[in-house]
A and B are shown apart, each in its own frame.
Chain A
């Protein structure tokens, strides 16, 4: 798994690529924690280059969403450009009602 963080005007954009499994999920957690520790709780996650995600990765997403939403000034973790298989995993986990999911990255960044 590799990731890049871009600090934008209204949010941070976290772009992930590769495989998110039990081995690599802690890296995703660390990346999200660093963003939130910097005070930013509006985060767009670009998932377009994620090849594989297991429940270990999904657990990180739900925990990060809880932290973002718990802020006094509510933040949000928005999922963007979600590949079909990853979307199916989100659906199977019952996560679709818990996240804003945007097809277009630019739309996600512009509307958070």
Chain B
């Protein structure tokens, strides 16, 4: 099903559940399977919490524009904010093989986004803000969708 839905939320942690509800309902409407929907919800939480904590660090009245776009091939999420430049695509992956004592607790969120989504891209538009685009393919033979 092709559709688009765009909602703007205040960039507050207490709105993560409302953003999740939007993403879950639109992903279901797009016809994604349960595993893909859960993956998109996790990626969304990680993306929005990063925007709130990093892009809007020191900024109280920011917003996150959540755009959900569906077509026959893919489900696309576009998150727009007007905070500081925070390109999560450049964050290095954590070491997942270290022992418990050496295991770092950070860096997992961005790693999750990259693992769970089929495409991740970031753009900073000077004077406007950040645009993070996450894509999940709908095709059943997509390698990531089937795992």
Chain A count of residues within 8 A CB distance of the other chain: 21
Q: Which residues of B contact A89 (CB under 8 A)?
A: 42, 112
Q: In this complex, which of B16, B52, B106 has the most chain A Cβ atoms within 10 angstroms of its Cβ?
A: B16
A85→B38 contact, CB < 8 A? yes
Identity of the chain B residue whose Cβ is nearest the Cβ of A99 in the assembled complex: B100
Q: Which of A1-59 contact B (CB under 8 A)?
A: 19, 21-23, 52, 54-56, 58-59
A55→B53 contact, CB < 8 A? no
Q: Which of B77-128 contact A (CB under 8 A)?
A: 96-97, 100-101, 103, 105-106, 108-109, 111-112, 115-116
A63→B105 contact, CB < 8 A? yes
A54→B45 contact, CB < 8 A? yes
A54→B49 contact, CB < 8 A? yes
Residue-by-residue, is B4-40 near A (CB-CB < 8 Å gives 1, otherwise 0)? 0000000001101100100000000000000100100
Complex Cα spacing A94 to B42, Å: 16
- Overall SS of chain B's interface: helix
Complex Cα spacing A38 to B81, Å: 43
The listed residue (A21, A65, A66, A69) touching B45 by CB distance below 8 A is: A21
Known A66-B100, A98-B103: A22·B41 in contact at CB below 8 Å: no
On A, residues with C-beta under 8 Å from B are 19, 21-23, 52, 54-56, 58-59, 62-63, 65-66, 69, 85, 89, 92-94, 98
